[in-house]
Amino acid sequence: MSQVISKKTDKKIKNEPVCGKALARGLKIFGDTWTLFIINSLSSGEKRFCELQREVGDLNPVTLTNRLKTLEGEGFIDRKKEAIDKLSVSYLLTKKGRGMLPVLKKIESFAKQYV
């Protein structure tokens, strides 16, 4: 058995076969529903925290904060301070984050056809 170490978080993923390193990292980041909903919500453009919370739905603010921090740390989103109000921030997809959108469309297409 081997261990995979996340490049950004240095957290070990135990008992992962060597052939599945990339998949294990991807599932560690995107393996929960909320993260995918956040990416999907940001696909239509820059959003503030409260807008994301409204669009994503029944999501605890602490969970949303944690998911946003993870996505930012992994380089999928950028956190931008507002010019007028320095306490307010907005979030937007990076090029890396936009690269996830075709995957979401495939999941949606698969779900429409088979689920």
Tell me which amino acid residue 39 is.
Answer: I
Domain of 70 in residue numbering reads as: 32-114
Q: Is residue 74 part of a domain?
A: yes
Residue 9: what pLDDT?
52
In-domain check, residue 14: no
| Number of separate domains in the chain | 1
Q: Quick one: pLDDT at residue 65?
A: 96
Amino acid 67: pLDDT? 95
Give the C-alpha distances (Å, rounded to integers) separating 24 from 11, 37, 63: 12, 20, 21
Does 7 reside within a domain?
no
pLDDT of res. 10: 53
Identify the CA nearest to 76 among candidates 95, 59, 92, 97: 97
> What is the CATH classification number for the domain harbouring 57?
1.10.10.10
pLDDT the model gives residue 6: 47
The token pair at 52 is 């994301």
Regions in the chain scoring below 50 on pLDDT: 1-6
